[in-house]
Amino acid sequence: MVDEVSPGGRIERVWRLRGGISMGMHAVRIVWSEGKRHTIVLRRYNPKSTDMDATACRREFRVLELLERLAFPAPRPIWLDEHGRLFGTPAMATSFVAGRATLDSEDRDAWLTELAETLARLHALQLAGAKASFLPSQSQVVERMIRRGPRPVDLRLFPESVAIWDRLRALWKGRVAVPPVIVHDDYWAGNTLWHRGRISAVVDWEQPALGDPGCDVGYCRMDLALFHGAGVADEFLAKYEAAAGRRVENLAIWDLYGALRPLPDPAEWLPGYDDLRRGRAGLTPRLVRSRLRRWMREATSRAFIKERRSS
C-alpha cells in the first residue's frame, strides 16, 4: 500500500486508532528517502459491513472528494482499493487529521455549540453543480426500513418499540418536504475530531446520503440522550436551530427514527464509547437501556402531540 501511496517511502511506525466498530483503522507514518515524514490513515472495512453494502467504500471515498472541494472539515482522500485487492477487504487511505474524539468537556456549553454549529455548516453546503448524485436517497432508505418493520430481535429487550414503528409510519406519510442536503447519517461526537477546542474534522462517512437534515439532528440527539441524558439532547437542538437559523422540520419523525437506531441493544455500543472515552463515566448496559426506554417514551409522546396538531 505504501508503495502505491508514496513510492520510494518506507514505513516508520503503524499504530491503531481508537473507535471504528465497523472499520479497522491504523495510522501509518511514512519516511521519504530525503528524511521527510508524513502520516496517513488506513481504513479497512469490516467484511460484515461490506456484505451489507459492497459500494460503501467507494461512496465514502467520493463523498470525501466532494467535501474537499466544498472546503468542509473532513479527511482528504488519498488512495482507494474498493475491491480488496491488497487486504482482502475494501480499503482506503486518507490524510491524518490532528485531533481526537471528545465525548464530553468541562465546558459542555462550548462543546455542544461547536458540535451543533459544525452540523449546521454541513447542512448549509451548496450542492448546485457539486455532482452529488452518487449519494443515495435517504428517504428511500427510511421507507425500506419502515416497510420492513421490527425484527423479532428488536423486540426482545424493547417490546415497547412497536409503538415507535406505528407512530413513524403514521407521521412519515405527512412529513414536510424539505430541500435535500448532504446528511452524514451517523453524526455523533465520536465521529468528530477535536483540536484545541474546535472540531478539526468529521470522520467515518460510511453512510452519507441526500436527504432531510433532521435525520442527523435526531440521531445526534438520541446519542447524546444515551450518553448524557435527554436534557443535553434538548440543549443541542436549541444550539443547532440557532446556528442553522431555522427550526428543524419533521423533528418528531427523526426523534422516532433515531430511537430505533440502537436496536436490538444499545449496550452493544459500549465498547465504542469505552474505546474513545477510556472509561464509560458510569455507563452500564442497564443504564443505557434505561435511557433508551426513556427516549422512546418521550419520542412517542412528541409524536402523539404532532399527530393531534396535524389532525
Amino acid (1-letter code) at residue 237: L
Please give the pLDDT value at position 281: 60
The CATH number assigned to the domain holding 72 equals 3.30.200.20
Please give the pLDDT value at position 282: 76
Q: Is residue 45 within 8 Å of residue 57, measured between CB atoms?
A: yes
Which residue, of 95, 124, 140, is where some domain finishes? 95
List the single range of 103-112, 182-191, 268-277 with lowest mean pLDDT.
268-277
Regarding whether 86 and 137 lie in a shared domain, the answer is no
Is residue 170 a part of any domain in this protein? yes
Regarding whether 143 and 86 lie in a shared domain, the answer is no
Regarding whether 198 and 119 lie in a shared domain, the answer is yes
Cell of 106: 468541562
Regarding whether 177 and 271 lie in a shared domain, the answer is yes
Is residue 102 a part of any domain in this protein? no
Regarding whether 117 and 259 lie in a shared domain, the answer is yes
The parent domain of residue 67 ranges over 2-95
As a whole number, mean pLDDT of residues 58-70 equals 96
Is residue 100 a part of any domain in this protein? no
In this predicted structure, the answer to whether residue 291 has a pLDDT above a threshold of 70 is: yes
Regarding whether 56 and 129 lie in a shared domain, the answer is no
The DSSP string of the chain is -HHHHSTT-EEEEEEEPS--TTEEEEEEEEE-TTS-EEEEEEEEE-HHHHHH-TTHHHHHHHHHHHHHHTT-SSPPEEEEETT-TTTSS-EEEEE--S-B--S--SSHHHHHHHHHHHHHHHHT---TTS--TTSPBHHHHHHHHHHH---HHHHHH-TTHHHHHHHHHHHHTTPPP---EEE-SS-SGGGEEEETTEEEEE---SS-EEE-THHHHHHHHHHHHHHT-HHHHHHHHHHHHHHHTS--TTHHHHHHHHHHTTTT-GGGGHHHHHHHHTS-TT--HHHHHHHHHHHHHHHHHHHHHHHHHH-
Which residue, of 44, 71, 95, is where some domain finishes? 95
Q: Tell me the longest C-alpha to C-alpha distance in the chain.
A: 72
Query: Cα–Cα distance between 67 and 135 in angstroms, integer?
Result: 13
Please give the pLDDT value at position 219: 98
Regarding whether 58 and 9 lie in a shared domain, the answer is yes
Tally of domains within the chain: 2
The tens digit of pLDDT for each residue in 15-56 reads 998 766 678 899 999 998 788 999 999 999 988 765 557 789
Regarding whether 144 and 83 lie in a shared domain, the answer is no
In this predicted structure, the answer to whether residue 3 has a pLDDT above a threshold of 80 is: yes
Is residue 261 a part of any domain in this protein? yes
Q: Is residue 299 within 8 Å of residue 221, measured between CB atoms?
A: no
Regarding whether 123 and 58 lie in a shared domain, the answer is no
Residue 14: CB atoms within 10 A of its CB come to: 10
Regarding whether 70 and 120 lie in a shared domain, the answer is no
Regarding whether 281 and 210 lie in a shared domain, the answer is yes
As a whole number, mean pLDDT of residues 259-264 equals 96
* Residue 129 burial by Cβ neighbours in a 10 Å radius (0-12, 13-18, 19+): exposed
The average confidence (pLDDT) of the chain is 91
pTM, to two decimals = 0.93
Residues 6+ apart with CB under 8 A from 265: 157, 285, 289
Is residue 299 a part of any domain in this protein? yes
Regarding whether 294 and 223 lie in a shared domain, the answer is yes
Is residue 200 a part of any domain in this protein? yes
The DSSP string of 155-187 is HHH-TTHHHHHHHHHHHHTTPPP---EEE-SS-
Please give the pLDDT value at position 33: 77
**Length of the chain in residues, anyone?**
311
The CATH number assigned to the domain holding 141 equals 3.90.1200.10
In this predicted structure, the answer to whether residue 269 has a pLDDT above a threshold of 70 is: yes
In this predicted structure, the answer to whether residue 268 has a pLDDT above a threshold of 70 is: yes
Q: What percent of the chain has pLDDT over 70?
A: 94
